[in-house]
Amino acid sequence: MKKNTIRLKKPNIKFKEIPAYIRGGFSYAGRELGQLRGTNVWVFIMYGLLFDTVNNLWRPFSAVFLQRLGGGELEIALLNALPGAVAAIVLLPGAMLFRRFTNGKRATAAFILVSRALLLGIAMVPMLPAGIRPLLFVILLAIMNCPDALSQTSLQSFLGTVFSGTTRGQAIALRNKFGQAIIPVVTVVTGIIITFVPGSDAQRMVLYQIFFVLAFLFGVMEVMVFRRFKVPVSTEDTAAVPIRPSSDLSLIPKIIKDKKFLAFFLPVLFFMFTWHAGWPLVAIHQVMVLQATEMWFAIFALVSGVAAFASGGVWQRWFRKYSNNTVLIISTSFLAVNIFLFPLTPNVQIMALLSFFTGFSTIGINAALLNGVLEATPDDNRMLYLAFYNTAANVSLFLAPFFAHTLFGWIGSRNAMFIVGFMRIGATALIWLVVRVRNRRLEPEAKSE
């Protein structure tokens, strides 16, 4: 029983050492890629680079694009909410469908391609009547999240098979680290072009259309790289398709009663809700209050991306030194404190500086959440567990923006962000408390051995 104990070491964070780790993050980047070339970790990093390129050719500017189409605060809230609603509806049935494919990797690649093909439909939105553009853009994004959510859930299950526990944590950290290197480059170049090249709003819309088409083309490359994953022959047909029991639905009660899974899932779900609630509030503050343009969104992404990439060495060291639970608590604490600073920003310049802390904390929490859910799910039926987890996460993604929009209507964006910040602190405290309680329950069993 000793091996099941959840370690929660008291973090001895030496902040004076962080600059050295940041320099190391840049210094060893090329060497790391060279050593990994040809391995599944290398394929995962390359896939991640293309995935981030596809999304950052347009996603950082989606709120501004929506505003240029004629959208307002409600459409911005729907932009965050509707994709979550679609994913929540399709994930569990989709996971059951995936379990019946004979080649899970091929099915995952097909869903990725369908998701990217919908970008071509979005590229046509500016050509349609002005009255339907904002809502149609939001609807198409929601529809696109259907194949996207299914493919990403399958990918998570796939990673649980391809990588072992230690290698998986390192692979996730490296994928996030190198992904954060490409994000600012893509976003800044796109932002510069959209801001300075067009001479009119009509020309700017044409550029948006071009970037949506480019995103589709990079998506095709993304699928080609994904198919290069090497899966052991014994698990190739079940990498994304776990062993099939007699009934898919009969597993739902088992998932709900799985104490190990619930101990991770419930406090994390609460934090996700607070995390998702902050997104539309920050976007509204940036677009409506600070009047941020595409160029400023590119700068936000640049600062955030540089911070995330440069801090990769810091997070890798903390993952090696502490348990995943400890890293999760550290990263959620940073993200909880960060939102208190946003409503105090008087201009876009200060907002850009705060993006450094956003990038630093986000890379840690993304890695800790993904590695944490893979640790909390069993090898058998992992796909269905992940579908259940992602369904709940997407229900949060659907409900949280409406909650944030209601707060915005009652008390304004500034006070709403303060409330969400206190909720994030409460969620982080809950994660810590659950881990501490579980440790106390497991310690007697471990000592008895």
Q: Give per-residue pLDDT as tens, 251-291.
A: 778 888 888 899 999 999 999 999 999 988 988 888 888 88
Which of the 8 DSSP states describes residue 129? -
What's the pTM value of the predicted model, to 2 decimals? Answer: 0.73
How many angstroms separate the CA atoms of 313 and 310, rounded? 7
Classify residue 70 as left (phi > 0), alpha (psi -120 to 50) or beta. Answer: left
How many angstroms separate the CA atoms of 359 and 310, rounded? 10
Return the half-sphere exposure (C-beta side, CA atoms, 13 A cut-off) of residue 449.
Answer: 9
More confident residue, 111 or 21: 111
CATH code for the domain defined by 2-448: 1.20.1250.20
Amino acid 381: pLDDT: 78
Amino acid 152: pLDDT: 86
Question: Mean pLDDT, to the nearest integer, of 196-220?
Answer: 93
For residue 159, the one-letter residue type is L
Question: Mean pLDDT, to the nearest integer, of 123-134?
Answer: 92
How many angstroms separate the CA atoms of 131 and 129, rounded? 6
* 381 phi/psi in degrees, rounded to 5: 65, 25
How many angstroms separate the CA atoms of 284 and 305, rounded? 21
Q: In this predicted model, what pLDDT tens digit does every residue of 16-59 receive, in sequence order? A: 554 554 445 445 555 666 667 778 888 898 999 999 999 999 99
Q: In this predicted model, what pLDDT tens digit does every residue of 370-424 receive, in sequence order? A: 888 988 888 777 888 888 898 898 888 888 988 998 998 899 888 999 999 999 9
Q: What's the token pair of residue 111?
A: 């869903």
Orientation angle between helical segments 104-123 and 73-98, nearest 10 degrees:
160
Alpha helices in 197-250 (DSSP H): 201-226
Q: Which of 216, 217, 193, 214 minimizes the C-alpha distance to 203?
A: 193
Contact, 88 vs 272, CB < 8 A? no
Mean pLDDT of the chain: 82
Sign of CA dihedral 198, 199, 203, 208: positive
Share above pLDDT 70 across residues of the chain, in percent, rounded to a whole number = 85
Amino acid 207: pLDDT: 93
How many angstroms separate the CA atoms of 252 and 218, rounded? 37
Which of the 8 DSSP states describes residue 287? I
What is the three-class DSSP state of 258? coil
How many angstroms separate the CA atoms of 315 and 367, rounded? 9
- Tokens 């705060």 belong to 354
Q: Which of 417, 402, 326, 311 minimizes the C-alpha distance to 359?
A: 311
The 10 Å Cβ neighbour count of residue 53 is 21
How many angstroms separate the CA atoms of 75 and 405, rounded? 10
The 10 Å Cβ neighbour count of residue 343 is 18
Q: Please, what is the end-to-end C-alpha distance for the chain in angstroms?
A: 8
With 90 as the cut, is the pLDDT of residue 144 above it?
Answer: yes
Contacts of 59 by beta carbon, 8 Å cutoff, 6+ apart: none
Amino acid 30: pLDDT: 58
Q: What's the token pair of residue 329?
A: 């608590």
Amino acid 425: pLDDT: 95
Quote helix, strand, coil % in the chain, to nearest 5. Answer: 85, 0, 15
* 355 phi/psi in degrees, rounded to 5: -60, -25
Question: Mean pLDDT, to the nearest integer, of 338-362?
Answer: 89
How many angstroms separate the CA atoms of 326 and 319, rounded? 9
